Amino acid sequence: MTKDKEKKMVDRINELYHKKKAEGLTAEEEKEREKLHQEFIKNFRASFKQDVENLVILDKDGKEVTSEKAKAIQRKKGLRKN
């Protein structure tokens, strides 16, 4: 998802939130809010998972201590050769 599309989604979620607090939402607006919220959460989780999977963890001496599970995922994605 592009940053522009994400910003528009967040802006619309916030707009619906404020309208809900001020005067309430129609059934159609409530469905839209729920759909946008679920899509936002799905995209957030996918992005977070990708960030975590791409992490390389080093100890204080500079030795890599990345878990074997993370290394396997990185190898599968072609991010790691060893």
Instruction: Note the pLDDT tens digit of each residue in 55-75.
Output: 999 999 999 999 999 999 999
pLDDT higher at 1 or 49: 49
- pLDDT, one tens digit per residue, over 23-59 is 999 999 999 999 999 999 999 999 999 998 899 999 9
Domain boundaries, the chain: 3-76
Sign of the four-CA dihedral 11, 33, 30, 28: positive
Q: In whole angstroms, give the CA distance from residue 43 to residue 13.
A: 14
- Other Cβ atoms closer than 10 A to 39: 14
| Single pTM value for the model | 0.75
Whether residue 82 is predicted with pLDDT greater than 90 in this model: the reply is no
CATH number of 3-76: 1.10.287.540
pLDDT the model gives residue 1:
81
Contact residues for 32 (Cβ-Cβ < 8 A; gap 6+) = 12, 16
